[in-house]
Amino acid sequence: MSGLKETAMNDVALSSAPRLSRRDVVHGLAAGGSVLLAGRVGTLELFAQEAARAAAINAFIAIAPDGKVTLQCAHSEMGQGISTTFTAIIADELEADWSKCETVFSPAGKPYRHPLYDWQFTGNSESIRAYHALIRKMGAAAREMLIAAAAERLQVPAAALTARAGRVHHAASRRSIGFGDVAAAAAARPVPSEPRVKPEREWRIVGHGRSLPRIDIPAKVAGTAVFGIDVKVPGMVHAAVVSAPTIGGQVAAVDEASVAGMAGVIKVVPLGGAVAVVAEHYWQARLALAKLKVDWQTGPGGRFDDAALDAMYRKAMRGDAGWAQAEKLGDALGVLADSQRIIEAEFEAPWTAHTPMEPMNATVAAADDGATVWAPVQGIQMTQVVLANVLKLPPEKIVINRTYLGGGFGRRLLADFVAQAALCSKAVGRPVKLIWAREEDIRQDWYRPAFLHHIRAALGADGSPAALHHRLVAPSIIKPVSPTPVKPGTVDALAVESLVGHPYAIANRRTDYHMLEVPIPTMVLRTTGQGPNNFALESFIDELAHAAGRDPYQYRRQLLAHDPVALAVLDRAAVRAGWGKAPNGHFQGLAFADGFGSYLCQVVELSMVDGAIKVHKVTSVCDPGRVLDRVNATSMIEGGVVWGLSVALYSALTFAEGHVRETNFDAYRVATLPDTPALVTDFLENRKTLGGLGEIGPVCVPAALCNALFAATGKRHRRLPLAREGVFTVYGKIYG
Amino acid sequence: MAKFNFTLNGAPAEVDVDPSTPLLWVLRDHLGLTGTKFGCGVAQCGACTVHVNGGAVRSCAYTIDSVQGADITTIEGLSGDGVHRIAQAWIDHQVPQCGYCQPGMIMAAAALLSAKPKPSLADIEASITNICRCGTYARIKQAIFAAAR
């Protein structure tokens, strides 16, 4: 179905998935299954026994004699439902019986790497769209191998056989044979080079409005699902960590005697920018950490604060140095110079933290000849590479067991917390589970940086934008996860996302980007550059519509008139939200996005109660090409809306004395249950290629909310979050 | 170190720990019940919610010396051998995403439904103050209403 560079990807598909020996697969499955087995906890021994009986058809599929199908999920489950949908796609193509399929998290390995980047990670809303062609081909190849083996067994031509629900059927003789009965023979057959991938109309498990109950949910509501923090390894001890009081600061000296004799304390381990105490139990480590005397060197940024940071942004915005041109269409500067009607505005999105509910943690057993990791990581290969460096071992000696992730939002792409656990394990010679307190989770975060935008537009005679010049100052967000070096003075493709290549018909367009260098670690966070950029652009488009005296929905319709697929999203959102028909005293705002391969339009409806916002309803219409699981897709958008409300209303980090001020949820505010309005979510499936759903959901909320706020109050808010601007929700007022 | 005795999920329990140890870490680290989660350590997020003598408390900020002789129920005890009706409502509505906060959410919901078997939306908004970063609140509301039926 999808375009998705199908040819190139298919070429990669089989060549990147070498046939694994049974021994390899058993080892790999055992590693993946030691912690988690299809949503239930399985023992290593039990799983190894099951895996040993299974025939590995390819790197993604193994089938046991009893017909049980084990499917490898290359990605990490952090709430997006990938452990169900990823393997359901394979099962569908395989013509398996879904009730006999189990998902395991794959080991780190070449067959499971992103087909284009040759790098295994879970992020950028790419888990389905990048792997779709590959895993369908894997399922199709296995199905054909099973059919070929059955043909031999039944002594009939393969063309007379069909696979369905875990069996191969011979219609003429009304005979059928289970996958398990021919799996071993199938595994020994040659891999077909061009298996027939099923057309969409033959999908039986995914798509067509279907939903599967997520496999991870029963264990998650029973409290038995194993997250990283829940791992238990024989002989394991615990580590607690404190980091430097200034960002980038280092340990100068540690007084180990200050905790000598404290109950359970095993060792104090300096970690460069942090210090760990390893103890028999976690709280013993915390108690000792509170007593530990450490001298710290100040970080390279010194005791910088908000004012110093703000001055850096403003200076960069005013200056001519350090700019790189990210996009140039027509002659925006020329048109602006000649224009009589110029609108300009500055927008600012704040510093924010990832704060998944499960703080960073990892369990590592490091030995001289290898290390085993049990951890909630998005950066699967990153973890392997980082630990290989830290422990001076070859990457293949680092075995990664992935647990469930209690949220990720990008933070777990990095492996700094795993490296700390590895160093502690090496220091004490025992497996160590290292857990960051929430304060450390925020203080050792790699933040979403502030984005400062200056936008100018020239309005044509009909009020539509004839030219747009966008200047963005923001530190790089891709740098810590980029496979290639990122240099100042160049364009960070993720930081300028949604500004470059936007579908709006604006003939003269220029986007300039200044990669600001700051003494603070920065990286991607859910919605990457889309979030802050959409807030600026879609607020500004609303300003243009207002200046032109036009309805914001109709104004955008004109800008998307050339793109019927985008227009359909806008129109459906207007219908579902009842655009222009809000009840008396309610006000609406909308915004549109093209991100992660999906189109999205969101409409926020709110009212003002004694000067405070009450959000009544958020309508979302998304076109991700195909909806493979309707309920889960809806979950992604619904949860995304709440994330967007946090961003719009509450969340911001500020700096003083060289570090963040907000270090827990009492000060770093996020949306809660009372903030959650009625949610209307709908999908279209018109895009030609498959889009992502994990990050698009929040993208339009801040602009749509601020546009609705403008409709209600006549005041334009160009700086987030609104709480910082003295604008509160009715619940924000109540709960502070 | 000191010994503390209490009832845990219907059975007697005893631990020998520092009196300042939060109940959360006693449950997770000493008694092996990891369904109760650590999220903030300052009673803000509710991931660690358990029942003490029938009421919902945030066990990260509840030291072990304050539960001497108390009756404690965790997510493991709530569900018992079967699937608790609240947990079933959570499954029916496909509430969890990452799922990390959900044991605490379910314990908070169970305490609410014990106190108010037919809660209003205002009751839910006032009592479910736990944090979910995946943003599953809309379905939590639906699931609580369903479980209350």
Q: HEC profile for A490-548?
A: CCCCCCCECCECCCCCCCEEEEEEEECCCCCCECCCCCCCHHHHHHHHHHHHHHHHHHC
Tokens of A436: 């960051």
Please determine, for residue B38, whether its predicted confidence score (pLDDT) is greater than 50: yes
Rounded to the nearest integer, the mean pLDDT of chain A is: 92
Whether residue A640 is predicted with pLDDT greater than 90 in this model: the reply is yes
Q: What is the ipTM of this complex?
A: 0.98
Confidence bin at A38 (pLDDT 50/70/90) = very low
Predicted confidence at residue B140, as pLDDT, reads 98
The share of chain A scoring above pLDDT 90, in percent, equals 91
Report, as an integer, the average pLDDT of A548-569.
98
Pairing of strands A398-402, A370-375: parallel
Using CA coordinates, name the residue in chain B closest to A695. B134
Is A687 exposed, middle or buried, given 0-12, 13-18 or 19+ CB atoms closer than 10 A?
Answer: buried
Which residues in chain B have Cβ-Cβ distances shorter than 8 Å to A651? none
Output the pLDDT for position B79.
Answer: 77
Instruction: With beta carbons less than 8 A apart as the criterion, state whether A186 and A149 touch.
Output: yes
**Contact (CB, 8 A) for A469 and A333:** yes
Q: For A647, what's the count of Cα atoms within 13 Å in the CB-facing half-sphere?
A: 36
pLDDT above 80 (res A382)? yes
Is the pLDDT at A132 greater than 70? The verdict is yes
* E-strand stretches of A87-224: 101-105, 161-164, 167-170, 175-178
Task: Tokens 């909310």: give the residue.
Answer: A705
Interface test with A, best of B81, B98, B107 (most A CBs within 10 A): B98
Residues of chain A above pLDDT 70, percent? 92
The pLDDT value given to residue A52:
60
| pLDDT band with cut points at 50, 70 and 90 for residue A16 | very low
CB distance from A713 to chain B under 8 Å?
no
Q: For A654, what's the count of Cα atoms within 13 Å in the CB-facing half-sphere? A: 10
Q: Which of A129, A73, A134, A138 is nearest to A101 (CA)?
A: A73
CATH 1.10.150.120, chain B: domain bounds: 79-148
- pLDDT exceeds cutoff 60 at A228: yes
B49 pLDDT tier (thresholds 50, 70, 90): very high
Determine the 3-state secondary structure of A707 from DSSP: helix
Domains within chain A, CATH numbers bracketed: 6-218 (3.30.365.10), 228-299+360-435 (3.30.365.10), 451-735 (3.30.365.10)
**Distance between CA atoms of residues A694 and B126, nearest Å:** 29
pLDDT, mean of residues A690-714: 98
What does the pLDDT look like over A200-212, one tens digit per residue? 999 999 999 999 9
Contact by Cβ (8 Å): A217, B99? yes
User: What does DSSP assign to residue A293?
Assistant: E
Q: Is residue A287 pLDDT above 70, yes or no?
A: yes
Contact A670 B131 (CB under 8 A): yes
What confidence tens digit (pLDDT) does each residue in A437-452 have?
A: 999 999 999 999 999 9
C-alpha A418/C-alpha A416 separation (Å) is 5
Query: How far from A232 is each of A14, A221, A362, B13, CA to CA, in Å?
Result: 37, 20, 11, 21
Would you call A673 and B21 a contact, using CB atoms and an 8 Å cutoff?
A: no
Helices H, strands E: what count in chain B?
A: 6, 5
pLDDT digits (tens, 9 = 90+) for A562-590: 999 999 999 999 999 999 999 999 999 99
CA separation for the pair A471, A327 (Å, rounded)? 11
pLDDT of A107 reads 93
Q: Around Cβ A296, how many Cβ atoms within 10 Å?
A: 19
Between the two ends of chain B, the Cα-to-Cα distance in Å is 47
Residue B38 and residue A218: Cβ atoms within 8 Å? no
Say whether A653 sits in a helix, a strand or coil.
strand
**Is the Cβ of A409 closer than 8 Å to some Cβ of chain B?**
yes
- Assigned architecture for domain B2-78: Roll (3.10)
Which residues are paired to A250 by β-bridges?
A: A297
Angle at B98 (CA atoms; ends A62, A75), nearest 5 degrees: 35
Residue A197 CA to residue A90 CA, distance in Å, equals 11
Compute the distance between CA of residue A664 and CA of residue A735 in angstroms, rounded to an integer: 16
Q: What is the per-residue pLDDT for A193?
A: 87
pLDDT score, position A217: 98
Give the contacts of B59 (CB within 8 A, at least 6 positions apart).
Answer: B22, B23, B24, B27, B36, B48, B49, B50
The end-to-end CA distance of chain A, in Å, is 50
CA nearest A184: which of A105, A67, A89?
A: A67
Q: What are phi and psi of B103, to 5 degrees?
A: -55, -40
CB A328 within 8 A of CB A506: no
Q: Is the pLDDT of residue A483 over 90?
A: no
- Cβ separation of B37 and A664 shorter than 8 Å? no
Among A245, A175, A183, A148, smallest CA distance to A55 is for: A183
The arithmetic mean of pLDDT across residues A341-348, rounded, is 98
Of the candidate ranges A90-99, A259-268, A480-489, A511-520, the one whose mean pLDDT is the lowest = A480-489
In this complex, is the C-beta atom of A263 within 8 Å of any C-beta atom belonging to chain B? yes
Inter-axis angle of helices A552-559 and A564-577, nearest 10:
160
Distances (CA, A) of A147 to A151, A163, A391: 6, 7, 47
Q: Could you give the CA distance from residue B94 to residue B143 in angstroms, rounded to a whole number?
A: 9
Which pLDDT does position B149 carry in this prediction?
84
Residues of chain A positioned with their CB less than 8 A from the CB of B106:
221
Q: Is A635 in Cβ contact with B94 (below 8 Å)? A: yes
State pTM to two decimals.
0.94
Minimal Cα–Cα distance from A661 to chain B, Å?
A: 16
pLDDT at A53: 67
Cα distances from A320 to residues A152, A316, A486, A513, in angstroms, run 73, 8, 20, 11
Do A499 and A326 form a contact (C-beta atoms < 8 A)?
yes
Question: Sorting pLDDT into bands at 50, 70 and 90, what band is A629?
Answer: very high
Residue-level pLDDT at A48:
52
- Average of pLDDT values for B78-86? 86
Chain A residue numbers with beta carbons less than 8 Å from the beta carbon of B134 are 79, 357, 407, 639, 642
Q: Answer yes or no: is pLDDT of A39 > 90.
A: no
- Retrieve residue A53's tokens: 């009986």
Answer whether A210's CB lies under 8 Å from A632's CB. Answer: no
Give the model's pLDDT for residue A625: 98
Q: β-strand A612-623 against A167-170: which pairing, if any?
A: unpaired
Residue with tokens 């394991």: A236
Q: Dig out the tokens for A100 from the structure.
A: 């006999």
- A508/A531 Cα distance (integer angstroms): 23
Q: How high is the pLDDT of residue B81?
A: 74
Q: Tell me: the pLDDT tens digits for A391-424?
A: 999 999 999 999 999 999 999 999 999 999 999 9
Q: Is B45 within 8 Å of A232 when comparing Cβ atoms?
A: no
Instruction: For B49, list phi and psi in degrees, rounded to 5.
Output: -65, 130
Reading phi first (left if > 0) and then psi (alpha if -120 to 50, else beta), residue A81 is in left
Q: Which of A1-15, A254-268, B27-41 has the lowest mean pLDDT?
A: A1-15
pLDDT tens digit sequence for A44-55: 444 455 556 688
pLDDT greater than 70 at residue A35: no
By the 8 A CB rule, do A406 and A148 touch?
A: no
Burial class (CB in 10 A: 0-12, 13-18, 19+), A633: buried
Give the pLDDT band (50/70/90) at residue A733: low
The answer to whether the Cβ–Cβ distance between B138 and A406 falls below 8 Å is: no
What is the per-residue pLDDT across A45-81, written as a single tens digit (0 to 9) for each?
A: 444 555 566 889 999 999 999 999 999 999 999 999 9
Domain with CATH 3.10.20.30 in chain B: 2-78
For residue A197, give the DSSP letter. P
Using DSSP bridges, classify how beta strands A598-609 and A612-623 pair: parallel, antiparallel or unpaired. Answer: antiparallel
**How distant, in Å, are the alpha carbons of A221, A316, A402, A520 from that of A319?**
54, 5, 47, 21
* B-interface mutation test, from A221, A638, A701, most B Cβ less than 10 A away: A221
How many CB pairs lie under 8 A apart between chains A and B? Answer: 192
- Positive or negative: CA dihedral A421, A72, A12, A527: negative
Domain at B79-148, CATH class: mainly alpha
A18-33 pLDDT per residue, tens: 233 333 333 333 333 2
Tokens encoding A606: 């709110």
**A203-206, long-range: CB within 8 Å, 24+ apart, which pairs?**
A203/A92, A204/A92, A204/A95, A205/A88, A205/A89, A205/A91, A205/A92, A205/A98, A206/A85, A206/A88, A206/A89, A206/A92, A206/A628, A206/A629
Q: Which residues of A are less than 8 Å from B87 in CB distance?
A: 221-222
pLDDT at B110 over 70: yes
* Tokens of residue A319, six digits: 């200056």
